[in-house]
Amino acid sequence: MSWQSYVDDHLIATGTVSQAAICDHEGNIWANSPGFTPSSAEVKMMVGGFNTSGSLQASGIPCSGVKYMFVRGDEKELFGRKGSSAVAVAMCNSCVLIGTCAENIQPGQLTTTVFKLADYLRESGI
Amino acid sequence: MYGGDETGGLVLDIGSSTAKVGFAGEETPKGVFPSIGICSSLGGGGEGSEDVEMVDAGSNKTGKRTIYVGHSNAFFRRDHGEVVGAMASEGGAVENWDVLENVYDHALKSVLRVTPSEHPLLVAEPPATSRADSEKNVEMLFEKFDAPAVFLAKQPVLASFSTGRATSLVVDMGHSGVTCTAVHDGYALTKSVGRSPVGGRALNELMLTWLDTASGARVRPRHLFRRTQTDSGGWAVEDLAYPKTTESFNHYHRMLVAQDFKESVIQVSGTAWDYGEAGAASAGGTTETMGGISVANIPSVNSELPDGTEVGIGAERYRLGECYFTPRLATGFLPDSSAKLPWHDSALLEGLAEPKGLASLILEAVGRCDVDVRKELYGGVLLCGGGSTCGGLKERLERELADNAPPGAKVKVIAAQPPERRHGTWIGGSILASLGSFQQMWMSKAEYQEHGASLVKRKCP
């Protein structure tokens, strides 16, 4: 299964994720939804934030040119908000999963979808 | 789908001192009772016990011990009955799960008198609750009480909602300490949390120390004396002796007496207490001034202990309130230099020699937030919790924050009227759980069965 089908079939198709991307820890994009391109600098910031989320609470979570307010995070998951949209970032062994949602979606549904896929990827050793 | 206000939701806010429970959509909690259990081990209460075996709704046998919960049980003296709190003495984390289970049970079956399986439960939790604790809590609510749906909301978020705000800096002055949390758009920013161990319990302890040593009064718990009217119209107080009463029960009730006394006299002065050159080392020293007046000249007020003893308290009532702002002043309550402050070994100090004052706690919490929201947070410092109801606190805090905030920041301290302020968290929960748009947020029993308890951190961010 290609990475693009993870984005299309397992994230966007659920209707609970508006935009999504999968990239490696350096920020090279493996798959993404149209128009959603987190830069490698942004991804590196997120990756750095998993261990020391202190760095993100002052700067927020920048993602594809949009700055989200850092709400909470631990070593595996980050969550941020901007207005009524939200971003969820999950760390897997070799990749980073990023999903955002627009106003019409409950952020709780976004995190459920993104982090569940991340759990699956981690279990599969990816 | 639910519509309007009728959701049948229940709101539970279990604090470190009291549990607030009630129906969503109502203005005040239906029941407020101590979140403690009186535990008697089955072995201890057996032979020669004067105890009456009570098979009432408030008791529950779990494992080896019987736990009695509820207002009347907290005041009913039992032989060998130890007072055990559901929550840890600081930080608000759950310490005794079996006590908490009994508190839930009492709240649902005896106070609210409902069938738990028919009502969704909104439970307030402290902002820094660990993932494991949240999951355990949810598991208990689904497995033990068969709840149809559960939502765990952060206490500061609810407090913020109670005043109709989605963004504010919530200062929750509780029993086990003060917690400052930034809330943005209905989400608690968990990394902003600042905590101090100077809470209601610490002040009760200081008050009790003062009553015991400096006032000349004897603090007798209510179950250890009998007060009767004599023929001449006066009152006679007779000591009672119950040697089988536990130390923890006696102490709990002595603390309640000190708490009552504290609540009737505590006051925060409008100006900072000037503790003089010698600092706090000169306990009760004459160099201390308040608003230019030597503390020795502050007039005293009288308050009565339950046994009828009148106690006058002067400068110390201001010193007590001042502990929130300058914790080191508390050393003035200690009888000698070897005595320890209530928070001397607190984990919340995080290695500091003394707790931070209220103003710096708040300013540091704001400083840990995104620069873009700081301005909004300064403009919405929200006071809640029982400790915040002490006289003069709001005005003093407003002044201290205005003096220390960065230039250009407009500081506004928001505080509801005292009854709503005390139960701010619960009221916010009542509002949230009755919102039509909230009904899709519940974590349902079906979801729990499919995903397990780990779903809670995702459903309830």
For range B9-30, the mean pLDDT: 94
Answer whether B458 sits within 8 Å of A108, measured CB to CB: yes
State the pLDDT at residue A106. Answer: 85
Q: Are residues B146 and B15 in the same domain?
A: yes
DSSP assigned state of A71: E
User: What domains can be seen in chain A, in order of their start residue?
Assistant: 3-105 (3.30.450.30)
pLDDT in tens, B357-402: 999 999 999 998 888 889 999 999 999 999 999 888 999 999 999 9
Average pLDDT, chain B: 86
Q: Are residues B370 and B436 in the same domain?
A: no
The answer to the question of residue B1 being in a domain is: no
Q: Are residues B229 and B344 in the same domain?
A: yes
ipTM exceeds 0.85: no
pLDDT at B109 > cutoff 90: yes
Q: Using CA coordinates, name the residue in chain B closest to A113.
A: B458
Nearest to B391 by CA among B288, B223, B263, B287: B263
Q: Are residues B151 and B30 in the same domain?
A: yes
Which domain, by its residues, includes B134?
10-155+426-459
B373–chain A Cβ distance below 8 A for any pair: yes
For range B151-178, the mean pLDDT: 94
State the pLDDT at residue B148. Answer: 94
State the pLDDT at residue B7. Answer: 65
Answer whether A69 sits within 8 Å of B370, measured CB to CB: yes
pLDDT in tens, B296-333: 778 889 999 998 889 999 888 888 999 999 898 888 88
Nearest CB to A69 within list B184, B441, B460: B184
B209–chain A Cβ distance below 8 A for any pair: no
Residue B4: which pLDDT band, with cuts at 50, 70 and 90? very low
State the pLDDT at residue A76. Answer: 87
- Of B322, B348, B374, which residue sits at a domain end? B348
State the pLDDT at residue B60. Answer: 59
pLDDT in tens, B111-124: 999 999 999 999 99
pLDDT in tens, B256-296: 999 999 999 999 988 877 766 444 444 444 566 766 677 77
What is the rounded distance in angstroms from the CA atom of residue A102 to the CA atom of residue B270?
Answer: 48
State the pLDDT at residue B353. Answer: 82
**Number of domains within chain B:** 3
pTM of the model: 0.86
Nearest CB to A54 within list B191, B370, B459: B191
Residue B61: which pLDDT band, with cuts at 50, 70 and 90? low
Within 13 A of B88's CA, how many CA atoms are on the CB side?
14
Q: What is the CATH number of the domain that holds B179?
A: 3.30.420.40
B446–chain A Cβ distance below 8 A for any pair: no
Mean pLDDT by 10 residues, chain A (126 residues): 88 92 92 92 88 75 90 86 90 93 87 90 89
Q: Are residues B85 and B131 in the same domain?
A: yes
